[in-house]
Amino acid sequence: MAGIYAFAAGLIFGLGLIVSGLADPARVLGFLDLAGLWNPTLAFVMGGAVLAASAGFAVLRRRRLSLSGEPMHWPQATRVDLRLAGGSLAFGVGWGLAGFCPGPALVAAAAGIGQALVFAGAMIAGMAIHAIIERGKRA
């Protein structure tokens, strides 16, 4: 059942990215171009997402189990450390250079957009390298 919920959530998220136009890197880069022809669309989409997520998290914080019956797992980190700052920096630089973040990149890659296929491939390779490094630390 958890797989069905995950699929439905991913499908709704992907459709939202397509409808809002955020699978188009030109729109994202237009948002980041503060000195040029700034496009505020992304700010409105993000604002709406933050409001909706805030309401959802307020409800979910009171629950011990998810809708699929799985235990709720909340982040335990409470401070900004070097890993968080470095990861955020890498994410922001990649987003600014390519115009994609992970969700829209996967949606655009599924649509066959060449730039997104390259970005998604690099993203998956980076995730694999990270997994190998983390596994080595635990061994």
User: Would you call 74 helix, strand, or coil by DSSP?
Assistant: coil
Residue 105 C-beta-side C-alpha neighbours within 13 Å: 20
Structural contact between residues 99 and 28, judged by C-beta atoms closer than 8 angstroms: yes
Tokens standing for 101?
């973040």
Does 97 have pLDDT greater than 80? yes
Q: How would residue 54 be classed by pLDDT, with cut points 50, 70 and 90?
A: very high
pLDDT at 4: 87
pLDDT in tens, 21-36: 877 888 888 888 888 8
Tokens standing for 93?
């630089």
Measured CA to CA, the distance from residue 12 to residue 35 in angstroms comes to: 33
Structural contact between residues 104 and 17, judged by C-beta atoms closer than 8 angstroms: yes
Structural contact between residues 33 and 21, judged by C-beta atoms closer than 8 angstroms: no
Distance in Å from the first CA to the final CA of the chain: 33
Non-local (6+) Cβ contacts of 113 within 8 A are none
The pTM of this model reads: 0.67
